[in-house]
Chains A and B, each alone.
Chain A
């Protein structure tokens, strides 16, 4: 048998075989669940961080990753940006009838490897099979649990005038890579996804800067433009960006130009936006530059008090414009 069939989800022998023989087998020691109705775990502190996320990625496998890696890294990063140390993960899998078992194995191996790298354990899982056409190959859902060991309150409401905004990596690569792969545009070899686990990087920044860090956000869907608008609104500050300071790979800039998309709104999977008090900027950058994933980290914007709630950008041509949150897809606004 090389494809998922409906009986794999019927709860009988085939289900058992899939879960024990394939899933648990591949996950190996990263899975510490007991196959009971609930996982029972020890928690060393009183404050927990909990996050949940569903993953529907097209294509499922891409140049330097797959849906499994994105699911684990994304959940781990969401925990870490709240200042938590990621500990546990649950994994729910929805499979479409006919999905190749070999693909499932590859995804599970990727989940295992990423979880090992992030030093996180899988504690509970679920598998469902739906009829052909009711899902697109495979959907994943993960819930992450982390512990807060630092006396920190990271919040976008805490931004103050004078704070500096750091972006830790090249913007837009993930979006361009996936779009190009999906449509056969030809950029996919040159521009790879930035998908990565960043919990250790975040721990390094927090160690170096303590409460000089105001807040951290994983720049995913909606891109930097959306993140900064959320910051500006939550804090009633304004944020002023310098286009020239934005870390954008030359190939990505060219591709975005050709496609007519604004890198500012493109999704990333291993890129952070960190707001710091100016006295710890240097320490934060030093901590970030110590890791290869964040070697390009740079200050891209300043927080100020005037014109509350808005994000401005000074372009490379020295022209100022307002960077708004987009309502839906990017639409032509010129008339």
Chain B
């Protein structure tokens, strides 16, 4: 035995289960003539190799370099190493030991890998045209898992017995389908059927071909995708698109598009290298891209929007449909208005039959509903980054790393764009997007998601964190939780903590948290907040001056109410005489009522919300006064900017030092008066005024952050809240503060909107259990 030999035991953690990792290790070890074994366990994968030291070292290097497509190694540690005399080059895959605890990661659903795509369109392959083809490198995961460990009997594939050919693949370590739990083929797997809207079978022989012909003929179809049903239609057919808008009762919100590949997308939208990579990534999110002005799609696909949301196929069935019909289709979530995406065939028939001309279904059940994710690339001043607007299919429940170990906990999120989060150890398992909790369907989805995640992660929460708003479904849910400490977390503190966790920060920060509405600790509605603090607490150090929302929620749907409220606050009775459309077009009686509601505080709650102020400016500029979907007024205000990139002067900034707590308050009176001068007398376009407004907000952020940094010594700034989906604001404010020597941290994996709240709540609850002496925020 000339060369020194050793035995080395490695522990690998990350996304290493259900991704073909053990066969990969087997092949690599065999290649290097190493002996030993590999095994899944609760912490990840344990590898033991035996053989010459140089071969072992090479193995360890290559292990990190040649990973299978879906795998990700977060840590690789050597547990043990010892010299040995004897070894044999026999390497084996050992069975998983019965596991206690559920530390191992659960994979998100993934796209169709290149190998499967090739087989799908290979006439000689036995799976040619099989709409549910998959392997260890791709296919469904989270959406079909009933329980873990991730084995076929614990998935919705349990009822399908593999044919000998599939079983052989499943049993061979050399095969790409070794232990591919959803493995299936024409012989033994689930099948696709085309149904009439009444549920009777329309075509079970050539369902895909018939469905494609229907789409080409201008028909609208419900199609079962990975995590639920989508509604598909031809986006170039104006009549079809108009009909879809009518049937879906959705007049303004853009429809998402499904395109065969990135080259197809290029005909309709502009993208760069990074956006192309995002489109093609295994998560296959909807990517928001700038529309080409010569895009040949019906304008109704995304009315009054200059962005288009594109995704590439995530399922083989989508590839087959795109090949057989058009290479681009509308693919919008298949749900009744405000209800969750249809998951089962019964739900699809109940909720979607009235909207579609047929349903393309299959009998592989979806156990967990996972809607499409929405992401985009922000081209910032520091570095371009991917941000999530909705994090669901392809990403959930991949955990966000916790900045410090957390006790078992459950965070319940906010009321709109709800997500929940389960924390344990170093992981924050953020659920998929659940939605608006005002409907019974979404409340059920919320309850089901919590129960499912608790089950598969085997977590009994010691803490349950919720928003302070007394009328939120989640607040009531929290009150019903027994045997856990209930923690109410202020909405904007949760936002700040979410951004801190997203950036791995664990030290005091200045939080700039701008959003629509959040319940404050003083019972008023906050939303234009400057906080300082960390996970364990915060102080409110500044905010936008208060104004009233006449009619509460009604003002949020009708932003001109907020505009009238601001005008009344600063101009009083003179408001009636203003030459503004939103004043002149109001019935005089109604205008009088709105002004009285404002001055007397009748059903007109007070707020410091920046999101609502954006809405008011949007209404004053005549951009948007009928909000059909959340954030519409502010989004359309931002989109004006693209027309005009010339530099501009901000409106005058007046900061007031409030007496009681010494908070800095942004007075909106100078803004409003300057805006009126611009709108009524001036020669500026709406786009130029929008730009001035954005610059004014940037100036306010900069001045207040610099002042807070001077007085506290804190150098880290976090931006959070839905308003920071506004790229212009985010990039400009980041640029100014970075230029002044401060460190700005923004969201990426955790959504900046309310979809990220649960992560922040989780960290605030976790901090309760951690005693950190020496931190004194007051000093």
Contacts and interface: CB of A to CB of B under 8 A. Distances in A.
* A and B from one complex: yes
A307 interface: yes
A45 interface: no
Interface string A320-335: 1110101110111111
Interface of B: 249, 336-339, 414-417, 438-441, 443, 469-473, 476, 515-519, 525, 549-557, 561, 589-590, 592-594, 596-597, 600, 602-603, 605, 607, 611, 630, 722, 754
Binding site of B, secondary structure by majority: helix, strand, loop or mixed? mixed
A261 interface: yes
A63 interface: no
**9 closest cross-chain pairs (CB), A and B:** A260-B551, A260-B554, A327-B470, A335-B516, A332-B552, A334-B556, A335-B517, A335-B416, A332-B553
B440 A321 contact: yes
What band does the interface of chain A fall in when counting residues whose beta carbon is under 8 Å from B?
20 to 34
A28 interface: no
A1 interface: no
A17 B341 CA distance: 73
A310 B440 contact: yes
A183 interface: yes
Contact of A320 (B441, B472, B611): B441
Interface of A: 179, 183-186, 257-261, 307, 310, 312, 317-322, 324, 326-328, 330-335
B555 A260 contact: yes
16 contacts: A258-B590, A259-B602, A260-B550, A260-B552, A312-B440, A319-B439, A320-B339, A321-B438, A324-B471, A326-B471, A331-B552, A332-B549, A332-B605, A332-B607, A334-B416, A335-B518
A261 B551 CA distance: 7
Binding site of A, secondary structure by majority: helix, strand, loop or mixed? loop
A331 B471 contact: yes
A332 B556 contact: yes
Contact of A183 (B438, B602, B611): B602
B603 A321 contact: no
A183 B472 CA distance: 30
Nearest to A312: B440
Contacts of B549: 332
Contacts of B416: 333-335
A258 B593 contact: yes
A9 B49 CA distance: 98
Contacts of A257: 554
A258 B597 CA distance: 10
Contact of A322 (B337, B439, B551, B553): B439
A310 B600 CA distance: 35
Given A307-B440, A321-B440, A328-B470, 11 more contacts: A183-B602, A260-B561, A321-B338, A324-B476, A327-B470, A331-B552, A332-B607, A334-B516, A335-B414, A335-B515, A335-B517
A239 to B, nearest CB: 12
B469 A333 contact: yes
Interface centre among B470, B553, B589 (most CB of A within 10 A): B553
Contacts of A332: 517, 525, 549, 552-553, 555-556, 605, 607
B549 to A, nearest CB: 6
Contacts of B336: 319
Contacts of B553: 260, 332-334
A319 B436 CA distance: 13
B440 A335 contact: no
A76 to B, nearest CB: 31
B603 A259 contact: yes
